Structure 1
Amino acid sequence: MTLLAIDVDYLSQTLKNLLAIPSPTGFTDEIARHVCKELDRLGVFYELTRRGAIRAKLPGKSPKPARAIVSHLDTLGAQIKSLKPNGRLELVPIGTWSARFAEGARASIFTESGAFTGTILPLKASGHTYNDEIDNLPIGWNYVELRIDAYARNDDDLHKLGVEVGDIVAIDPQPEFLDNGFIVSRHLDNKAGVAVMLSALKAFLDEDVQPTVDMFWLFTIAEETGHGASSILTPEIASLVAIDNGTSAPGQQSEEFGVTISMGDETGPFDYHLTRKIAQLCRENAIKHQKDVFRYYRSDAASAVEAGADVRTALITFGVDASHGYERIHMHALRSLAELVSVYGTSSVEIQRDAREFSSLKGFTNQPTDDAAQTLSPETKKPKPDVLVDEMEEEAD
């Protein structure tokens, strides 16, 4: 395996460029175009689905069992629910996020007549008018409204502007890249993951390193609404590693530094062997890491499995403070993730049987069930391997 050098300046600038492009779920054409142009610039082959998901490919020394890395281009946002008599706009969220974090947000409204800016405000926004009532207003999407930066005293004025029910609202990210490595912005979930993938891909190309097997780089467009990687995999892909945000908060093990490996989320455990392989790669390459379990969380990996894909899945994350709100991460985590992708892509394939969609019991994996004391070799005092793989029959067989 090879730990490749990551161009941190490229990673940072790539993230800035991605954050500058509005891309709530359902409004992802422009960011898909941006990523495709970057893949063109890097000289990487890719295919684009009808709706705009991207599947790029870096050929490996062997075609199978292929590996895939996935992140999503779409972000949280909102949609216009109704045009109100007071000239404001009622909203419904795109994706799952609290109206608590919508209050005070600057936003862009995309209509067929053009784009407008605006601010999401609580229904009672002025202390000079409502006094203590502004602190007693409940939290929820029924208690906020969007004030458009245009002449709009009533719903007729909104109609004249060309504003319609269903128009997309993008929340301005307002990013800050601090000198100490911290990054504060909305939508780091998951534009940071996309930046990590492009940076790791660039490292393979810069150092002219070929992956062990074919490696696919997947960029999805509807993860925030639960669809994710449900229809972008190919049959030869045996392992899918998602890159997304970890939840740095009390009661969680995620951190804003290093790699956080998710062992399970609300859909259940991730693949036993793949997650342990990833942890071992971190140990062998001195990549800071920690493990976590997420209770109220799903990713592209979940949508792939729920759609019926027979792939091993794992989730590697950058710890995010205040996820789905005013998010904060650190560049150390992003660089660590990109390094992990590089060593994963150049690591050996332990489970050769995965090259086939169906096969016999020969070469099938094992999971340890012995007592802990029995799994230690008295000579080396090292744990026995979790996976025992027989020699595969020749392809001709």
Structure 2
Amino acid sequence: MNDPGSHLALPAIDYAYLEETLLQLLAIPSPVGLTDAAVRYTAGRLEALGIPYEITRRGAIRATLRGQASQPARAVVAHLDTLGAMVRALKPNGRLEIVPIGHWSARFAEGGRLTVFTDHGQVRGTCLPLKTSGHAFGDEVDAQPVGWEQVEVRVDLPATCRGDLLAAGLEVGDWIAFDPQPEIQPGGYINARYLDDKAAVAALLTACKAVRDHRLVLPVDVHPLLTITEEIGSGASAALHGEIAEMVSLDISIAAEGQNTSEHAATICMQDMSGPFDYHLTHKLIALAHAHGIPHRRDIFRYYRSDSAAAVEAGNDIRTALIGFGGDASHAQERTHRDALEALTRLVVAYMTSEPVARRDCRSMGSLDGFTEQLCPGDMAVPSTPLPAPETFLGDPAPEGEAQKR
């Protein structure tokens, strides 16, 4: 790849800053719809780095790192919102029926400590199966199904009926945030709920810090973008500049049986359930990872979508790609490793400082001149056995007893 950014040495990553940012983000509840505090924190982080930004009506953040040219601009996006739950009903037994915010299994809500955000304050509680005590229910504890209708929230209040809950200020529609329970091991493993996607946000901010600290030259404008509704599908459908031609989403990558992702590397996703990502942008990221010796894997995710899909479905004609940190047990008790976060951050810096895929992309429409090329005629495979001449197919009778080929 003839790209000035592909052979320049990358600066050191401030991992202490990344870890501090991650822990502070995890301490701020931000289920979809309750993201203002996380937005304010992230805006403060950008201000401390001297990076200008704008905030949309609902809270998506669009920052700007100026490059040598304003177009074709690129966006690097991560999401501040997380999974969560909401009160569906106040039950006669003084407990709460709940529904999920985002797509996750009640299996991983069971036993979780949580906070209910009422109109006037906060109430602590625990999510429990309907039949919890083996001393009371015996083997029925193990036989009950898994599902959101099979759990309830026990609030830490003297509540034994619906009236007690109402008197305490609890209502249908109250937001619920589960405790993240972060734990960082000396060996580099990081356990917590909501590493998706607060670990990627921390990596993006750390990459921005590297650009500022080392006064890195950016060939084109880069717009760090923090979205607030990715977990419910809309994500980066708004807040994109019209001049943005490339967008790279940062998210958790799935380390599981049957996948190629590792907790010790960055992942470059080739396709998710929304389809393949842009050929040229994806292969550019692969080339950058090779050039800089960044540990990485290529993978395909069957049950996954990201901010990139939302951006394209909203009608944006942009190149999209997805890269992530390898993580185990996504949307459950998640775990990653320092290696993956450092690899992702370095790949983001390499991308920010590299040339765009095509300078032609500064215009939304144009001629064939400067258009990209995937398969050159010289690269096409030549069959080892020449095909029969056309007249063989059309005029020669088939041997007796054999169907004629068409």
The one-letter amino acid of 2:183's match is E
Alignment correspondent of 1:345: 352
Deviations 1:77-113 (A, max 9, x none): 0000000000000000000000000000000000012
User: Which deviates more from structure 2 when the two are superposed, residues 351-360 or residues 16-25?
Assistant: 351-360
Counterpart of 1:9 in structure 2 is: 16
Say if 1:297 and 1:159 are closer, same or farther in 2 by CA, change over 3 A.
same
Question: Aligned residue for 2:108?
Answer: 101
Question: Offset of 1:374 from its aligned partner?
Answer: 5.9
Measured in 1, the distance between the counterparts of 2:317 and 2:303 equals 24
1:22 maps to 2:33: no
Matches within 5 A, 1:128-147: 128-147=135-154
- Find the residue that maps to 1:100 and give its secondary structure: helix
Output the CA distance in 1 between the equivalents of 2:293 and 2:342: 13
Question: 1:261-340 residue pairs with structure 2 within 5 A?
Answer: 261-340=268-347
Conserved? CA contact 2:280–2:357, under 8 Å: no
Please, which of 160, 174, 186 is the counterpart of residue 153 of structure 1? 160
Shift of 1:350: 4.0
Residue matched to 2:185 = 178
Q: Is the 8 A contact 2:133 2:141 kept in 1?
A: yes
Range that drifts further, 359-368 or 98-107? 359-368
CA distance in 2: counterparts of 1:109 and 1:86, whole angstroms: 17
Unaligned regions of 5+ residues in structure 1, if any? 376-397
Q: Show structure 1 runs of 4+ deviating over 6 A.
A: none
Of 255-264 and 347-356, deviating more is: 347-356
CA distances 1:120-172 after superposition (whole Å, capped 9, x unpaired): 00000000000000000000000000000111111000000010000000010
Q: Deviations over 1:224-280 (max 9, x none)?
A: 000100011111110000000111100101110111110000000000000000000
Matching of residue 110 in structure 1 with residue 91 in structure 2: no
Matches of 1:286 and 1:370 in 2, distance apart?
A: 31
Match of 2:394 in 1: none
What's the counterpart of residue 400 of structure 2? none
Report the 3-state secondary structure (helix = DSSP H, G, I; strand = E; otherwise coil) of the residue aligned with 1:147.
Answer: strand
CA distance in 2, matches of 1:89, 1:253: 40
Q: Does 1:253 align with 2:260?
A: yes
Alignment partner of 1:71 is 2:65: no
CA distance in 2 between counterparts of 1:170 and 1:200 reads: 28
Please tell me whether the aligned partners of residues 328 and 336 of structure 2 are also in contact (alpha carbons under 8 angstroms): yes
What corresponds to 1:80 in structure 2?
87
Shift of 1:365: 1.1
Does 2:364 match 1:361? no
Q: Which residue in the other structure is 1:91 paired with?
A: 98
State the AA in 2 paired with 1:330.
Answer: H
Q: TM-score, normalised by structure 1?
A: 0.93
In the TM superposition, residue 371 of structure 1 has moved relative to its aligned partner by 7.8
Shift of 1:349: 2.7
SS at 2:107's partner residue? coil
Report how far residue 41 of structure 1 moved: 1.0
Query: Partner letter of residue 129 of structure 2?
Result: P
Residue deviations 1:187-230 (CA, integer Å, cap 9, x gap): 00000010000000000000011211000000000000001000
The alignment partner of 1:58 has SS state of coil
TM-score normalized with structure 2 length: 0.91
The CA distance in 1 between the partners of 2:92 and 2:111, in whole Å, is 21
Contact 1:79 1:167 in 2 (8 A): yes
Question: What are the ranges of 5 or more consecutive residues in structure 2 without an aligned counterpart?
Answer: 383-406
The CA deviation at 1:373 is: 7.7
Q: 1:25 to 1:14 in 2, by over 3 A?
A: same
The answer (yes or no) to whether the contact 2:264–2:337 under 8 Å persists in 1 is yes
- 1:387 aligns to what? none
Q: Distance in 2 between matches of 1:50 and 1:151?
A: 39
SS at match of 2:64: strand
Structure-to-structure mapping, 1:231-242, within 5 angstroms: 231-242=238-249
**One-letter amino acid matched to 1:26:** G
Between Structure 1 and Structure 2, whose CA radius of gyration is higher?
2
- Between Structure 1 and Structure 2, how many residues are aligned? 375
SS in 1 for 2:264: coil
Kindly indicate whether the alpha-carbon contact (under 8 Å) linking 1:4 and 1:343 is maintained by their aligned counterparts in 2: no
